[in-house]
Amino acid sequence: MVEGFRFLPEYFPPPAQKALVAEVLGLLDENPLYRATMPRTGKPMSVRMTNLGPLGWISDISGYRYGPAHPETGKPWAPIPQTLLDLWRAVSDYPAPPQACLVNWYEDTSRLGLHIDADESAKDAPVVSVSLGSRALFRRGGLERSSPTSSMRLASGDVVVLGGQSRRAYHGVDRIYPGSSTLVPGGGRINLTLRRVTRP
Ligand code: MD6
Ligand code: FE
């Protein structure tokens, strides 16, 4: 498998998971989830999203980019919670803080197609992901879309670090296991990904 992939199962114990979900939920009033669309086709994504931090990842008909404001409210994104800044310091070995925390909200039927995270200039920084709520079937691939893949389950509190070579590897979410957690209201899954966008 690709070098640089780290899996930290239940990095966050249940009380910390609860606190993190509460903190993220508390930021959604000012920073609402919205349904982004795919470039070119304009088809809606099955995952709803928002961002935290000075920059946020945005997808719309014209393409993918990072921007300082919510596309629907026009307001700056809310700050990244301290717990997540601490996580980044603990696991990333990167000399600068993350600038974006993408919040992906999965319903029971949501999926995320095989992709690489390639819209950041700081290619030397890892992407750090936190899973909360229902379990997901995560697919890991290689450096080409056609590379062999393997699947693993991500449960609430798990952290994944895509560093080194794995930073450029394909990955996606094939399915959510409905009812596998009650942590997230409505039974869904929240995935938080921390990214450094620009070179420090
Ligand atoms: C998810 N994760 O777990 C989707 N990207 O819902 C990602 O797309 C991801 O887990 C970059 C680094 C780690 C990830
Ligand atoms: Fe990704």
Taking the alpha carbons of 135, 152, 142, 88 in that order, is the dihedral positive or negative?
positive
Measuring from atom 8 of ligand 1, which residue has the nearest CA?
Answer: 172
HEC string of 127-153 equals EEEEEEECCEEEEECCCCCCCCCEEEE
Calpha distance 155→17 (Å, rounded): 11
- Provide mean pLDDT across the span 20-24: 98
Ligand 1: residue whose CA is nearest its atom 10: 129
- The protein residue whose alpha carbon is closest to atom 3 in ligand 1 is 191
Mean pLDDT, the chain, rounded, equals 97
Q: Which ligand 1 atom is at minimum distance from the Cα of 115?
A: 8
What is the sign of the dihedral through the CA atoms of 76, 194, 152 and 190? negative
Does residue 145 surpass a pLDDT of 90? Answer: yes
pLDDT at 170: 98
* pLDDT of 119 strictly over 90: yes
pTM above 0.95, yes or no: yes
- Ligand 2 centre and the CA of 120: distance in Å? 12
Q: Is pLDDT of 43 > 90?
A: yes
Q: Is the pLDDT confidence value at 144 over 90?
A: yes
Residue 15 confidence (pLDDT): 98
Please write the tens of the pLDDT for every residue from 90-111: 999 999 999 999 999 999 999 9
pLDDT > 70: what percent of the chain? 100
Please tell me the predicted confidence (pLDDT) of residue 167: 98
For 78, half-sphere exposure in the C-beta direction (CA atoms, 13 angstrom radius) is: 16
Q: Is the pLDDT of residue 1 over 90?
A: no
Q: What is the mean pLDDT of residues 72-77?
A: 98
Domains and CATH numbers, the chain: 5-33+80-195 (2.60.120.590)
CB neighbourhood size of 176 (10 A): 22
User: With a 6 A CB cut-off, is 104 part of the ligand 1 pocket?
Assistant: yes
Contacts of 3 (CB under 8 A, 6+ apart): 164, 165, 166
Measured from the CB, is residue 110 less than 6 Å from ligand 1? no
